[in-house]
Each structure stands twice: as C-alpha cells, then as structure tokens.
Amino acid sequence: MAPAFDTQSREPEDVARLFRYYAEFETPRLHSRVYTDYCAGVAEDEALLELVCRTMPSQPPPNVLFAAVKNLLLEDAERSAEARDLARFYPAVSGGAIPDESAFPAFRAFCLAHEAELDPALRSGRTQTCVVHRSAIMLPAIGTLPRVVAAGGRVGLLEIGPAIGLNLRLDHYRYEYDAAGTSIAWGDPAATPVLACELRGETPPLPEKFELAARHGLELSPIDVADKKAVRWLRALIWPEHLERGRLQDEAIAVAERVPAEIAAGDATTDLEAAVGRLPTEVPRVVFATVALYQIDEAGHRTIHDALARASVSGPIDFVTMESNGRGATRVDHFAFEDGAASDHRVLAEADSHGRWLDWGKQD
C-alpha cells in the first residue's frame, strides 16, 4: 500500500503522517520492532519532527534520520551516555540481543543530545541502499534475455542508481533458489555471498553462461568502495534487526574490492544516453534499475525511456526494472528498444523488494 499523500512535503503535519504510515505498514512489513517504535514516537514528537524536516524532499525522512543516528553509533558508540544507552538496540554495534523494552525513549534522548552532529547527514543524506539480495532477481531477469542468451551469455551492464555497485558484481555470487524444499543452485559453490531466494509459482530460467563484458553505473553520488566513511553510511542504512543483510553486504563489498566497476556521476534524466554510449556495442547492452526509479517523477521516467530509444539507434537495448507494484512487493519489467523506438514490453515476475522471494511469470 502506497501512501496517499505528498511524501516530499516537509510540513511537520505531512512528515508526521509519513511516519505514521511507516509505523503501520513499512516497518512491520520489514520486521523491525525498533523502527516501528521510532516511527510511532516521532510522529507525535514536535522536537523530532522539526529535526527530520531538514531532510531533502527527494529522500524518505525516516530512512535518513535512522541512518544518521546509526552512523554516529557505528562511528563511536561511546561518545556519550545517550549513545551507550541507545547502542543496546543495535546488535551490529552492541554485539548483544535487542532489549524487550521500547527503544524510543533512548532514541529521542540521543537525537536531542546530538542534534548538531546529526544535522549534516539529515540535510545531505541519501538512501543509497544497495541490497545485494536483489541480484537473485536480476540473475534470471537479465541472464535469460533472448539477446543475452544468443550472445553466449556475454553482456554489457549499466545500472541506474547503483550506489556502490554491489549488484553490478552479480555474476560473482552464489545463488540458492528453493522451491518447496527443492534447491536450484547457480554459481561457484565456494563463492560468497550466498543469496537464498524462495521460489513461488514458476521456476525461473537460469543462464547456462553469464559473463559481463562491462560493468557500468550512473549514480547521482557514487560511492567509492575504498571510502570507509561512505561504506559506513551504507552499513548505517541497514535496519537493526537485519543482521544477515549486513553480513551479506559486507561479503559483497569484499567482492567489489577486487572486481572493478565504472560508476560515473550523473543524473539518469539527463546523462543516460551518454552513459549507454560508453557500453561496448559488440555485446548485448542491458540497462537495469532495482528500486531506484521511485525517486524520479513521471516526467523523468518518460525522459529515461526517450533516452534509451535514442540510444538504440546504434544497436538494441534491453531495460530491466524492479520497482514497487504498490502492494508491498515489486514488479519486474522488461522493455526493449530498437532502431530509435520502443519495441516490446513484458512483465517478467513479481518479487520481494529485498529479493527474498520470486514469483516468476506472475502478471499483474
């Protein structure tokens, strides 16, 4: 269920409504008792609403606020008594279990005590999440495209909004798809991370061969895998209860440290055609995005499709997207462009937004 109000407004009453929406739908759906406490509390707290209204209109206030707080704890959980008290609710920081008590009082005290330190991240922080588990959805979606199969699995990839680019290394991971107790595996048995995905409905096709000839990204604020502060921000974006996701992300970052990718600074609504032009033309060219386009308005979506159509004059382009279906999951779409125009559109699947399950072939 999508919120039926302006999520970009920074009027306190509108931001409060957004936090109530998160408390009712988003945080329970993603199994975070801690952030459910936070959201319910912030929605009724004038001082914290004033604080979070500083976030950029294009960014979701709850995610940015919570990441800004966790980032300070990851940097130094001993910075104050308030920090030590709040750190108890973050297993990645404390190393212990989350207490049964409400986390909100400690959270509020920390925010008010460290307002000045939180301010820069609130004003500039972006939800540059890079959920590596989404590679479990992109592997069949990209690897079995007809043009990719015909080329023997070779492909040039360009990701819109890759952050640090973990999903651009999808050919280096191990995948285990489970269908009613029957496991289907892909990749080097010794590879990490191992991405487990529950299958619902049809069994997806998996590529026999899959080799990336190019790994490119187009990102508003690229993250250098060698930038420790930027990598810490990525860790801060992971919710307290999601320890496995944090472990998988760390393993994928280790892969990124040895497998290079070219991630250019740029805006998909203005720079996409040029970015596609940097892909090799001797292999199929595939552009993809996973839960990134929601930050772009309808006019921007049209601009992206127009840019891909123009770029297809020099050769076919496939565009695979994994974006919200408005019902708590995502829809995986394939758009094809040839000779300067859109040539095909298919719905490939429905999937969990974090790649935990896949319903291949499901249509809206």
Q: Are residues 182 and 308 in the same domain?
A: yes
Q: 290 is in which domain, residue-wise?
A: 132-360
Strand order in the sheet with 174-179: 182-186, 174-179, 194-199, 357-360, 341-351, 330-338, 317-324, 285-290, 154-160, 211-219, 262-265
Report the half-sphere exposure of 351 (CA within 13 A, side-chain side): 30
Give the pLDDT score at 2.
65
> What confidence tens digit (pLDDT) does each residue in 209-231 have?
999 999 999 999 999 999 999 99
Give the pLDDT score at 58.
87
Q: Are residues 67 and 159 in the same domain?
A: no
Domain boundary among 124, 142, 171: 124
DSSP 8-state secondary structure symbol assigned to residue 165: T
Segments of the chain scoring below 50 in pLDDT: none
Give the pLDDT score at 89.
99
Q: Are residues 116 and 260 in the same domain?
A: no
Please give the Cα distance from 60 to 282 (Å, whole number): 40
Q: Is residue 1 part of a domain?
A: no
Please give the Cα distance from 128 to 64 (Å, whole number): 10
Give the pLDDT score at 363.
84
> What confidence tens digit (pLDDT) does each residue in 277-327 have?
999 999 999 999 999 998 899 999 999 999 999 999 999 999 999 999 988
Residue 349 three-state SS: strand
Q: How many domains does the chain have?
A: 2
Give the pLDDT score at 339.
98
Domain boundary among 91, 106, 124: 124
Q: Are residues 253 and 167 in the same domain?
A: yes
Please give the Cα distance from 159 to 137 (Å, whole number): 14
* Backbone φ, ψ for residue 322 (5° rounding): -130, 100
Q: Are residues 163 and 71 in the same domain?
A: no
> What confidence tens digit (pLDDT) does each residue in 18-31 have?
999 999 999 998 89
Domain boundary among 95, 124, 153: 124
pTM of this structure: 0.89
Q: Are residues 309 and 252 in the same domain?
A: yes
Please give the Cα distance from 326 to 28 (Å, whole number): 16
Q: Are residues 339 and 356 in the same domain?
A: yes
Q: Are residues 176 and 299 in the same domain?
A: yes
- Nearest one of 213, 211, 170 to 193, comparing CA atoms: 170
